[in-house]
Structure 1
Amino acid sequence: MNDKPPSGAAAPTRHFDVLIVGSGLAGLSTALLLPSHLRVAILTKRTIEDGSSGWAQGGIAAVLADGDSFDAHVQDTFVAGAGLCDPAATRFTVENAPAAIAWLRALGTPFTEHDGELHLTREGGHSHRRIVHAADATGAAVQQTLIERVRQASHIQVFETHNLVDLILSDKHAQHATAPRRCLGAYALNESTDEVEAFVAPHTVLCTGGAGKVYLYTSNPDTATGDGIAAAWRAGCRVANMEFIQFHPTCLYHPKAKSFLISEAVRGEGGLLKLPAHLGGHRFMPDHDPRAELAPRDVVARAIDFEMKKHGLDCVYLDITHQPPPFLREHFPNILARCAELGIDITREPIPVVPAAHYTCGGVVTDLKARADLPGLYVVGEASYTGLHGANRLASNSLLECMVFARAAVGDILAQPPWTPPPVRPWDDSRVIDADEQVVISHNWDELRRFMWDYVGIVRTDKRLERAAHRIALLKAEIQEFYQSFHVTRDLLELRNLVEVADLIVRCAQARKESRGLHFSRDHPDLLPEARPTILQPEHAKIAL
Structure 2
Amino acid sequence: MSIRLSTDVLIIGSGAAGLTAALSLPATTNVLVMCKGRLGTGSTAWAQGGVAGVLDEVDSVEQHVADTLKAGAGLCDPAAVRYTIERSTSAIHWMIEQGVPFTRVDGSEVKYHLTREGGHSQRRVIHAADATGLAISETLIKKVRQAPNIHILENHVAIDLITTEKLGHDSSQTNRVVGAYVLDSQTEQTVTIGARSTILTSGGASKVYLYTSNPDGATGDGIAMAWRAGCRVVNMEFNQFHPTCLFHPKAKSFLISEAVRGEGGLLKLPNGERFAHKFDDRGELAPRDIVARAIDHEMKRLGVDNLYLDISHKSPDFIKSHFPTIYKRCLEYGFDMTREPLPIVPAAHYTCGGVRINEHGQTDLEGLYAAGECTYTGLHGANRLASNSLLECIVYAQAAAKHIAETEPEQFDAQQLPLWDDSKVSDSDEKVVISHNWDEIRRFMWDYVGIVRTDKRLQRAKRRIHLLKQEITEYYSNFRITADLLELRNLVVVAELIIESALSRKESRGLHFTRNYPELREHPEITVLLPKRD
- TM class, shorter-length: over 0.9
Q: Is the 8 A contact 1:168 1:185 kept in 2?
A: yes
Q: Distance in 2 between matches of 1:511 and 1:319?
A: 39
The letter for the 2-side match of 1:150 is: V
Q: Distance in 2 between matches of 1:78 and 1:224?
A: 27
Aligned residue number for residue 3 of structure 1: none
Q: Is the 8 A contact 2:232 2:529 kept in 1?
A: yes
* 2:71 equivalent to 1:77: no
- Give a deviation string over 1:466-495, Cα, whole Å, max 9, x none: 111111111111111111111111111111
Report the TM-score, using the length of structure 1 for normalisation. 0.91
Quickly say closer, same or farther: Cα 1:378–1:476, change in 2 above 3 A. same
Quickly say closer, same or farther: Cα 1:88–1:321, change in 2 above 3 A. closer
- Give a deviation string over 1:320-355, Cα, whole Å, max 9, x none: 677787776566544343233234455676533210
* 2:393 equivalent to 1:436: no
Quickly say closer, same or farther: Cα 1:301–1:129, change in 2 above 3 A. closer
Q: Distance in 2 between matches of 1:157 and 1:265?
A: 36
Q: CA deviation at 1:319?
A: 5.5
* 2:521 equivalent to 1:540: no
Correspondences of 1:342-361 after superposition (within 5 Å): 342-344=333-335, 351-361=342-352
Q: Distance in 2 between matches of 1:121 and 1:321?
A: 19
Report the TM-score, using the length of structure 2 for normalisation. 0.93
Q: Is the 8 A contact 1:272 1:320 kept in 2?
A: no
After alignment, is 227-236 or 524-533 more displaced?
A: 524-533
* 2:46 equivalent to 1:55: yes
Q: Is the 8 A contact 1:514 1:521 kept in 2?
A: yes
The letter for the 2-side match of 1:186 is: A
Secondary structure of 1:503's aligned partner = helix
Provide the aligned C-alpha RMSD in A. Answer: 2.3
* 2:261 equivalent to 1:274: no
The letter for the 1-side match of 2:269 is: K
The letter for the 2-side match of 1:227 is: D
Secondary structure of 1:251's aligned partner = strand
Correspondences of 1:82-231 after superposition (within 5 Å): 82-114=73-105, 115=108, 116-174=110-168, 179-231=173-225
Q: Distance in 1 between matches of 2:321 and 2:397?
A: 38
How many residues are matched?
A: 528
Q: Distance in 2 between matches of 1:133 and 1:319?
A: 22
Correspondences of 1:371-410 after superposition (within 5 Å): 371-410=362-401
Q: CA deviation at 1:181?
A: 1.5
Q: Is the 8 A contact 1:230 1:501 kept in 2?
A: yes
Aligned residue number for residue 5 of structure 1: none
Aligned residue number for residue 508 of structure 1: 501
Secondary structure of 1:113's aligned partner = coil
Secondary structure of 2:187's aligned partner = coil
Quickly say closer, same or farther: Cα 1:332–1:384, change in 2 above 3 A. closer
Flag structure 1 segments of 5+ consecutive residues without an equivalent.
Answer: 1-9
Q: Is the 8 A contact 2:49 2:258 kept in 1?
A: no
Q: CA deviation at 1:252?
A: 1.3
Q: Distance in 2 between matches of 1:433 and 1:312?
A: 48
- Give a deviation string over 1:397-416, Cα, whole Å, max 9, x none: 11111111112111221222
The letter for the 1-side match of 2:250 is: K
Secondary structure of 2:5's aligned partner = strand
- Give a deviation string over 1:478-536, Cα, whole Å, max 9, x none: 11111111111111111111111111111111111111111111111111112311111
Q: Is the 8 A contact 1:16 1:39 kept in 2?
A: yes
Aligned to 1:239, which of 220, 230, 233?
Answer: 233
The letter for the 1-side match of 2:396 is: F
- Give a deviation string over 1:224-282, Cα, whole Å, max 9, x none: 1100000000111000011111111111122322111123455564544324xxxx787
Aligned to 1:297, which of 281, 288, 291?
Answer: 288
Identical columns (%): 59
Q: Distance in 1 between matches of 2:311 and 2:61?
A: 38
Aligned to 1:21, which of 12, 28, 38?
Answer: 12
Flag structure 2 segments of 5+ consecutive residues without an equivalent.
Answer: none
Q: CA deviation at 1:133?
A: 2.0
Q: Distance in 2 between matches of 1:379 and 1:352?
A: 37
